[in-house]
Amino acid sequence: MAVEIGAVKLDSGWLAARCTDVGFTGSELTTNHAPAGPSAPWMEAAVPGTVLGTLLKNKLIPDPFYGMENEAIIDIADSGREYYTFWYFTAFQCAPSGSHHVDLNFRAINYSAEVYLNGHERFLPKGMFRRHCLDVKDILYHDRQNLLAVRIHPPDHPGRIPPQGGQGGDHEIGKDVAAQYVEGWDWMTPIRDRNTGIWDEVSISITGPIKIADPHLVSSFFDDYTRVYLHATTELENRSDWTTECTLNIQVTTELEGSICLVEHLQAQHVSIPPKSHIQYTFPPLLFNKPNLWWPNGMGKQSLYNVGITVDVEGYGESDTWSSLFGFRKIENTIDSATGGRLFKVNGQPLFIRGGNWILSDGLLRLSTKRYETDIKFHADMNFNMLRCWGGGLAERPEFYHYCDIYGLLVWQEFWITGDCDGRGDPVSNPNGPLDHDLFLLCARDTVKLLRNHPSLALWVGGNEQVPPVDINMALESELKLHPYFEILNKTSNSVDLILSSDDPSRYLDGTRVYIRGSMWDGFANGKGDFTDGPYEIQNPEDFFKDDYYNYGFNPEVGSVGMPVAATIRATMPPEGWKIPLLKKLPNGYIEEVPNPIWDYHKYIPYSKPGKVHDQIELYGSPMDLDDFCEKAQLVNYIQYRALLEGWTSRMWTKYTGVLIWKTQNPWTGLRGQFYDHLHDQTAGFYGCRCAAEPIHVQLNLATYFIEVVNTTSDEISNAVVEARVWDLEGNCPYYNITEKFSVPRKRTQRVFEMKYPKSENPKPVYFLLLKLFDASNKTMLSRNFYWLHLPGEDYKLLEPYRKKKIPLKVTSKAVVNQFGYEIKVSIQNTSGNPNSKSPCSDANVTYRSNNGDHVMGSSKSNGRVGGENDVGLLRRMCRFFHSSDTDDSLRVVEVKGPDSGVAFFLHLSVHASKSLQQNDQKDTRILPVHYSDNYFSLVPGETMNVDISFDASPGVTPNVMLHGWNYSSGFRVY
C-alpha cells in the first residue's frame, strides 16, 4: 500500500471459515498459522457481505432465493450461534513513516467481533449500526505483510421461527440493535444466519498527527434563496504529545461543463490544538450569492458542490483530508391545516410526495455500488420523489444516499423499531425495545453523523408503526431538535442576525431536520398511531378516486400486487413453481386464487379479494399457462398502480399531501409489492407509476370520468389543449374531443371536461382511450396517457380474440457502444390506418374548437392499410429485417406486415444475449438491468413511440433487443 494520507479499502483477498473448523487461535492465525489460500476449511469470502453470502459464493448451500431451497439451509435457531460464527482473514501491506498514524476501520459489522492483527487482539463491541475505528500504528509490520483475522459473532438473540411464521418470527431479534426483518415477514422468508458478517466496507486510513472526524455541513438561506451561508463544524483529534499549530482549510468547488471545476470559496483558519485532545472547530460562515440549488426529482436540477476540508500542521505538512458532495437546499415539513397530512416544502416550494417504501436492496447484503445506482435510478425513472427506509431494515449506507443525492430522491430514515418486534405481534413482543438502550442511542448518534450531510435526507423517524421506548424517544427528540433558526423560519421572516448571533447550527448533532416519533404519528396516517396505514391488497381501480377510500392526508404505506414476468418465475423457481394459481369460483360469484406451494412460500399476493374485488386477471379471460398469466398480470399491474397514484393526485392539497407505496422492491425473489424484481427486471407497474407521477400529467378520473390535468411544477401551464380519442377493437375512432385553450395553475389538479363516450349511443363494451395534453403555443406534447377500458359490469374478455389482429409496425433502431455500455434508440410506428391522419395539434396549422364539444363518429373506420396482405401466420414470417440504405451499419429497420388496422396493444421491449446452439431453450437469456425511457405502451394508428434503452453487457455478449406485445405474442428482434 502506498504511504499517502487517506483511506484504502480492504475489499479483496478475504478468506473465511467456520470457527469450529479452525484449530488455531486468532493470535496463531495472524502469526505462524496463516491460511495459505482457499483450501478447506477456508474459502473465498464475500466482504462486504454475510456468512450466508460467503457460503453461497462457494456453493456450499443452495440458493436461498431459489424455489424453496431456503428450507434446506439450517436455521441459526436449530444450529446454534456457533454454526454461523466465522473467521475472516486477509493480508495487506502498509508501510507508514514513524510520524504517520494508522487506523483500521470497520464501517459496520453484525454483531460483535474480536480482531487480531499480527498477533495482537482488539475488540469490536456489539451493534449492527455503528462504526469501529482501531488505532493500529504500533502493531503494523512495515517490512512485510500484515495478517488480519476477524472472528464475527451473530446477534445475541437470533430468535426462533414459529410454525406460523409471522412478522419478525418470535421477535427475539428485537432485543438486539440489529435489522429485524431477518426472522421473516409477510413479504420475506427468514435469513438463516441473521445477516451475520462484515457487512460494510473495511479500510485502512493514514493521517498525520491531526485527524479530521465527522464534519457537519449546514446551509441557511436569506433573501428569497438568493443568498446562502454554508456552516461547517468538524471534530479534530490531536494524536501527538505536543500542542500543534495547524492551518485548517475549507474549499468549495462546483463542476462546470467538461469536468472543469470552479472554486467558489477557499478559506484558511489557524487552529492550536492541545496534545492528546479532541476539539470541535467551527468555520466562520461562507456566503454564497445566487447559489445553484438542489431540488428533488421533478422539481429541478440536483446541483451539488464539492466541499473539501484539509488540515496542515506546522512543520509537518498535510495531516488529513476530507471531502463530500453537498447540496444547498432547505427542507421544511409541517402538519397541513387543510388536510391534516404532513406537508413538505423544498426551497420554499410545496412538494406533493409520491414515492415508496424501501426495505433493502438484497437480503444477503450484497450491497454493491452498481446495484445501489440501479435501484435509485429506477425510482427516479418512476418519477418518484421520496423513499422511506423502513425501520425493520437497515440504516442505509452512504452509497445509497449518494445516489439519492444524484437522482433527487428525498429519504426518510427510520431507526430500528417496529411495532411487530417492539410491542405487539404473535407472540406479543417486548414493548421496551432493545435490551441495551444506551447501545441503541450510540448507534443512532453514529448513524446521524454518517448520513447527515446528504441533501436527500429529509427526516428522522423513531420507528415503524411504533414509538421507541420513552427514554430512547426523549433522547432522540432532544438530540435531534431543530436549531432555533430552523424552528423560527416557519413563523417569522428570515433573519441574518438570528443565524449569525446564535449558536452555529453545524454544531448540533443535526438541527436541520425534524424528528418524528413514529411512522403513523404527527401528520402521517391519522396522526395518532392507530394503524390507519394500508391496505395491502388488490383494489378496484376506480376506488382509488373515491372520497371514502382513504380518510387521512398522508398514507405512509399502501400496498398491492407485484407479479413479475414469466422469465423471472422460470429463473427463480423449478418447474413445479411454474404452475399458475387455481381459480376457485365461490358461491358469491367471486374467485379465490389458490397458488402453488412455491408461490405461497414466496409470499404471493392474489389478484382477487373475494367479497370486494373480482379477480383482475380473470377479467381478461382464464389464463392458460404461466406466460398468459404473467402477461395479464402486467396489464393489471399497470392499471393498479397508475390508478393508485392518479387517485391521490386527483385530490392534491384538497385531501392529500402525499403517499408512499408499500413497497417498491423485494430484497429477495418475492411475489408481492414490487415495481421490479430481485433480478432487476421491471414489472408493468413500474411504467404505470412513471406515467401517473410525471410532473405534468393528463388523466382520467375512473370514478367520475372527468378528464383532469395535474401540474406539480412551480410554473403555470398556459395555452393548454387536451385531445381525447377513443378507438374500438375494430380499428374505428368513434369519439374525439379537443378542448379550447385553458390554463392550469402551479401545484394544482384541474378538472377539464367529462368523458361522455361511455354514455353515448351504442358504446363498445371494451375500448381504448388516448389522452394527449399539448402546449398549443409550440405544439409540444406535455403528457400522453393511454387507457383500456370496459363498460360498467363488463370485462376485458373481448381482448382475447383481439390478439389475432395483425397490426403492421415499422421499427427503427440505432445503437451507440461506448465505455459506459450500450445506448440504443428505438423508434416504433404503428403504420396501420391513414398515415396522414395526424393529431390536429401536430399539424402545421393548429385549429381549436371553441365549443369544447364531444363528437361521436359512428362507425367511420380509419382507412389506409399497410401491406394489404392476408394473415401470414407465424410472426417470424411477417417480419422483414434490413439495414438502412445509408452507410450507417448501426441503423436497422424492421417491418412487420399485417392486414389489420387498430391499436398495437401493450408493446414491451426486452434485451437478451444471443443464444448459442448449445444453450437450453429454458435458459434465461435476459440482460439485466436495463433502463428504458418507456415500456409497456400501446400505439394507435399512425402513432410513433421513441424509446431510449441503456445497459451494460459482458465482454463477448451480443445483445438482441426483442419486442413483444398483445398482438405479437411470439415476439421479434428489432436490434
Q: Which amino acids are annotated catalytic?
A: 465, 557
In one letter, which amino acid is 775? D
Q: Which of 305, 204, 297, 202 is nearest to 250 (CA)?
A: 305
Rounded distance between C-alpha atoms, residue 790 and residue 380, angstroms: 32
Question: Residue 182 in contact with residue 194, Cβ under 8 Å?
Answer: yes
Rounded distance between C-alpha atoms, residue 333 and residue 514, angstroms: 8
Other C-beta atoms lying within 10 Å of the C-beta of residue 847: 9
Q: Which of 912, 911, 916, 935 is nearest to 925 (CA)?
A: 912
> Residue 49: left if φ>0, alpha if ψ -120 to 50, beta else—which one?
left
Does 41 sit behind a cis peptide bond, omega within 30 degrees of 0 on the bond before it? yes
Burial profile 699-728: b = 16 or more Cβ within 10 angstroms, e = fewer: bbbbbebbbbbbbbbeeebeebbbbbbbbb
- Between strands 353-358 and 386-389, the pairing is parallel
* Cβ within 8 Å of residue 35, ≥6 positions away: 15, 17, 29, 42, 89
Sheet with 457-461, edge to edge strand ranges: 515-516, 457-461, 410-414, 386-389, 353-358, 658-662, 554-559
DSSP H or E stretch at residue 477: helix 470-479
Other C-beta atoms lying within 10 Å of the C-beta of residue 850: 8
Query: Where do runs of H (alpha helix) occur along 312-394?
Result: 369-381
- C-alpha to C-alpha distances, 689 to 94, 384, 520, nearest whole angstrom: 51, 8, 24
- Between strands 717-728 and 735-738, the pairing is antiparallel
SS3 751: strand
Number of H helices and E strands in the chain, helices first, is 14, 49
Give the cell for residue 814.
440505432
| Residue that the C-alpha cell 410454525 belongs to | 163
Distance of CA 798 to the CA centre of its chain: 36
Burial profile 794-833: b = 16 or more Cβ within 10 angstroms, e = fewer: ebbebbeebeebbbbbbbbbbbeeeeeebebbbebbbbbb
- Between helix 369-381 and helix 684-692 the angle, nearest 10°, is 50
What's the sign of the alpha-carbon dihedral 268, 274, 276, 282?
A: negative
Rounded distance between C-alpha atoms, residue 837 and residue 205, angstroms: 67
DSSP H or E stretch at residue 237: strand 227-238
Rounded distance between C-alpha atoms, residue 249 and residue 269, angstroms: 6
